[in-house]
Amino acid sequence: MQQEVYLKIGAKTIALAENQKLLIGRKKHGADIEIDDPSVGRKHATIENKAGKIYIKDLESLNGTYVNDKRIESNKLIEVSLKDKIKVVSESIEITLKKNTLTKDKSEKISKKDDKNVELNDATGLKQKITSKGFFNIGRLSENDIVLDDRVVSRKHAKISFENGNFWIENLRLKNKTYLNGHEVKEKTRLRDTDVITISFYSIDLLNGLKDLRKEHSAIEAIGIQKKYPNNKIGLQSLSLNIPQATFVALMGPSGCGKSTLLKCLNGDNPATSGEVLIHGLSLEKNFNLIKKKIGYVPQDDIIHKELTVYKTLFYAGKLRLPDDTSDEEINNRINRVISSLNLDQDKEKDIRGIKVGSLSGGQRKRISIAVELLTEPTILFLDEPTSPLDPETIESFLTSLRELTKEGTTIVMVTHKPEDLNYVDQVIFLGVQGHLTFTGPANSLISKFEVNNIVEVYTKTSDLEQVLKNYYIKSPEVLYQKESIPEIKREKPDSLILQLYWLISRYFKIKINDRENLILLFAQPLIIGGLVSLVFNELSIGVFFMIAISAVWFGVSNASKEIVGELAVYRRERMYNLNINTYIISKCVVLSMIALIQTIIFISIVYLNFKINTVEGHSDTFLRPFWQSVGFMFYLSFSATLMGLFLSSYFNTTEKVMTVVPIALMPQIMLAGVMTRIDNTLVELLSFTTLGRWGTEGFARIQDKSYLDAEMESKSILLEVTQGNDIKLVGSKAMKRLDLYNENLVENGTLIGSVFDSFSANLLMIAALNLVVYLLIYYALKRKDSI
């Protein structure tokens, strides 16, 4: 049997479990019982419960510890009873010995999880229950002591134990995280009374037990937030907001006033430069890794691939976003649920799951973007102008389904320009020009607040800076938090990089396969260019190898140049979630390399067959060879060019810009290869070092020269030359003499520096070095997109 002992300090009640010792000390110095008084020592005294008996010990404090107004001797355990009055300097601590007792009887365990959790809200019960049982398991399964029915909670998630007089918290699963005061619990950590554990949107602390933060706090609170862009432009003027749970909010204002900026500050996509955003009472900045999994965000552009079917879109989103231990069956159940909650299953004749996203209407596509976000069951949805592309009829059913979501408890913040959308929302936030908050409140009081006849006039008034500043700007009462620089929200790795890579490759592969027309064009390119080369060149010469190298560069760059910029919205959204930049780049490289390999095989086969069949008279052995080495080298060039294309695609923000730059990137490959003209200027020579055109042409020349030499050496038909000093020198074979690609065409007539890297391996190494540089450039270009 155990006795429950409680300490009362002012309004606070703290349980003192059996065999527990608590340190009393000054605030912010790590004590279990913190007293906000400078006259209290950092480590002032201890109070402990030894088998139901309470002892207090003063730790040589300056201002003393008092029992019944008598200062006690330092470093001596003094037993105290119910009647005694204990004082730590000015604070009086009352000790209460509760009458009821607790047994370790198993019947105490209540099977229904809600009943069980209700008990845990009891401000004083949790500690004693943990002490009595020795530990408390927390998890999704009903057999846990604290049951949290939430997808980001593992079946057996964490454990609070009581050992050696102290409480400890440990996370039992690596994948789903437990946070202690905002920091991930990586190892078993001592738990103090003032510590707060957060798992999903639940908080647990020894004093207050379990709390569902969604019930305790507003969904979103912005306190004195302001946004300054790096160019010093103010995107948002200081403002404060409070958005209750399950509210449908429209965010409106004139064009360019900062609506998207505010949305991004509230969801962490591009955080405020000062002030604080709280999501269900938790600091967005400190708990971003948790919060990002529980909020949904659909930016202005669709965050889906039009080449995939609806089912595959949702399936891959589930695989990439849900915890790795989520079964396919569970993902399918969720897909069915989100499809029905967004009324996407109305057409009984044609199942929307099998339709390609690209064939859907604008409204349906928007809903699929939202469905992707709903898979993770977010408590807040941020939507940036979802109704803009929709016609009035579609808007009605679209907003009705969003309303339904708010009834189920989701909070929605939606940027909109459409006055008719106000019929569906509970609240409006109206921004004025240059990011000034001018209105927050129920939609039906917007017109009266501005004393106008219609919403168009609200736009007129809020577009006039002078009027806004004079009459409407709702300045934040006080700026509580000042930050000097943009807070960097630390991004967390996905559960498994390998699995993320697998699903990214799988999705990208499917996208490519489903885009039949484009695939046909991709494979028609080597047929056409290879055919032309065969047609134009009557005999194998340096020009042919130059064309092979340039074609490889062209294939790689053109295959890749639209691949990142074309899905920037998807990339940015997934990056905000848990996308790793390296797995993303590698997934692009893997799939694009497969395409480049097929193109290469087609191209080399055509050129090989052409020169094999149409040999020059007297030189029947002069054809492209060796076949597989040529394929390998062309593929290597094409892969390297793919990286170049990916760099262009990651650096620019629009497809148009990339397409303008592609020819500019290709020209040096042609001009600096040393074939068009002799390169005899050091600067130009050095520039040619950075081109695949140069290394590619030279590499092919070497492969050919070597293969002819080898072939002729084998057949012993070698050529010897008598030099000026009457030495006999091996110069190669008949065929090689005829070609002599490297020496004659590139060194003597072409580049001067060829001899500097006089080996094929050096060629390969130079290309590898270029690849490494380009890979790093892609990485940093993508990283730059994280926060603008």
Ligand X SMILES: Nc1ncnc2c1ncn2[C@@H]1O[C@H](COP(=O)(O)OP(=O)(O)OP(=O)(O)O)[C@@H](O)[C@H]1O
Q: Which residues ranging from 253 to 272 are in contact with ligand X (CB under 6 A)? A: 253, 255-261
Residue range at the interface with ligand X (CB under 6 A); choices 23-31, 197-205, 229-237, 467-475: 229-237
326 or 787: CB nearest ligand X = 787
Tell me how far, at minimum, the Cβ of 31 lies from ligand X, in Å.
45
**Nearest-angstrom CA–CA distance, 35 and 193:** 13
Judged by CB under 6 A, the number of residues near ligand X is 13
Phi (first) and psi of residue 265, to 5 degrees? -70, -35
Interface with ligand X includes 299 (CB under 6 A)?
A: no
235 or 386: CB nearest ligand X = 235
**Nearest-angstrom CA–CA distance, 584 and 505:** 9
**Nearest-angstrom CA–CA distance, 598 and 425:** 53
- What angle separates helix 692-714 from helix 655-671, to the nearest 10 degrees? 50
Interface with ligand X includes 235 (CB under 6 A)?
A: yes
Residue range at the interface with ligand X (CB under 6 A); choices 145-153, 251-259, 370-378, 502-510: 251-259
Tell me how far, at minimum, the Cβ of 254 lies from ligand X, in Å.
7
Q: How far is CA 140 from CA 176, 196, 214, 338, in A?
A: 11, 19, 18, 21
3-state SS, residue 370: helix
234 or 499: CB nearest ligand X = 234
Cβ neighbour number for residue 186 with a 10 Å cutoff: 12
22 or 257: CB nearest ligand X = 257
- What angle separates helix 692-714 from helix 760-784, to the nearest 10 degrees? 150
CA 245-200-112 angle, to 5 degrees, is: 90
282 or 298: CB nearest ligand X = 298
253 or 732: CB nearest ligand X = 253
Tell me if 284 sits within 8 A of 268, measured CB to CB: yes
Tell me if 215 sits within 8 A of 203, measured CB to CB: no
Q: Are strands 158-163 and 183-184 parallel, antiparallel or unpaired?
A: unpaired
Residue range at the interface with ligand X (CB under 6 A); choices 113-121, 227-235, 573-581, 752-760: 227-235
DSSP 330-364: HHHHHHHHHHHHTTTT--SSS-GGGSBGGGS-HHH
**Nearest-angstrom CA–CA distance, 267 and 489:** 11
Tell me how far, at minimum, the Cβ of 342 lies from ligand X, in Å.
24
Residue range at the interface with ligand X (CB under 6 A); choices 37-45, 228-236, 646-654, 753-761: 228-236
Interface with ligand X includes 10 (CB under 6 A)?
A: no
Q: Which of 588, 507, 516 is nearest to 311 (CA)?
A: 507
**Nearest-angstrom CA–CA distance, 91 and 700:** 86
63 or 300: CB nearest ligand X = 300
What is the pattern of x (binds ligand X, CB under 6 A) and - over residues 129-148?
Answer: --------------------
**Nearest-angstrom CA–CA distance, 518 and 73:** 87
44 or 227: CB nearest ligand X = 227
168 or 229: CB nearest ligand X = 229
Tell me how far, at minimum, the Cβ of 460 lies from ligand X, in Å.
16
**Nearest-angstrom CA–CA distance, 550 and 542:** 12
**Nearest-angstrom CA–CA distance, 662 and 370:** 34
Tell me how far, at minimum, the Cβ of 476 lies from ligand X, in Å.
18
10 or 256: CB nearest ligand X = 256
Interface with ligand X includes 395 (CB under 6 A)?
A: no
Interface with ligand X includes 231 (CB under 6 A)?
A: yes
Which of 233, 657, 678, 783 is close enough to bind ligand X by CB under 6 A? 233
169 or 262: CB nearest ligand X = 262
Interface with ligand X includes 784 (CB under 6 A)?
A: no
What is the pattern of x (binds ligand X, CB under 6 A) and - over residues 675-714?
Answer: ----------------------------------------
Q: Which of 38, 19, 17 is nearest to 28 (CA)?
A: 38
Tell me how far, at minimum, the Cβ of 366 lies from ligand X, in Å.
16
Interface with ligand X includes 788 (CB under 6 A)?
A: yes
Question: Which residues face 190 on adjacent strands?
Answer: 168
Cβ neighbour number for residue 117 with a 10 Å cutoff: 19
Q: Which residues ranging from 314 to 373 are in contact with ligand X (CB under 6 A)? A: none
What is the pattern of x (binds ligand X, CB under 6 A) and - over residues 173-212?
Answer: ----------------------------------------
**Nearest-angstrom CA–CA distance, 147 and 120:** 11
- The helix (run of H) or strand (run of E) holding residue 35 is strand 33-35
Cβ neighbour number for residue 224 with a 10 Å cutoff: 19
**Nearest-angstrom CA–CA distance, 57 and 60:** 9
335 or 428: CB nearest ligand X = 428
253 or 693: CB nearest ligand X = 253
258 or 732: CB nearest ligand X = 258
Tell me how far, at minimum, the Cβ of 229 lies from ligand X, in Å.
4
Tell me how far, at minimum, the Cβ of 131 lies from ligand X, in Å.
53
Which of 168, 229, 537, 627 is close enough to bind ligand X by CB under 6 A? 229
Question: Which residues face 445 on adjacent strands?
Answer: none
Greatest C-alpha distance within the chain: 120
Tell me how far, at minimum, the Cβ of 231 lies from ligand X, in Å.
5
Tell me how far, at minimum, the Cβ of 386 lies from ligand X, in Å.
13
Tell me how far, at minimum, the Cβ of 457 lies from ligand X, in Å.
18
**Per the structure block, which two tokens stand in for 583?**
């797995």
Tell me how far, at minimum, the Cβ of 215 lies from ligand X, in Å.
32
- Name the site residues for ligand X (rule: CB under 6 A): 229, 231, 233, 235, 253, 255-261, 788
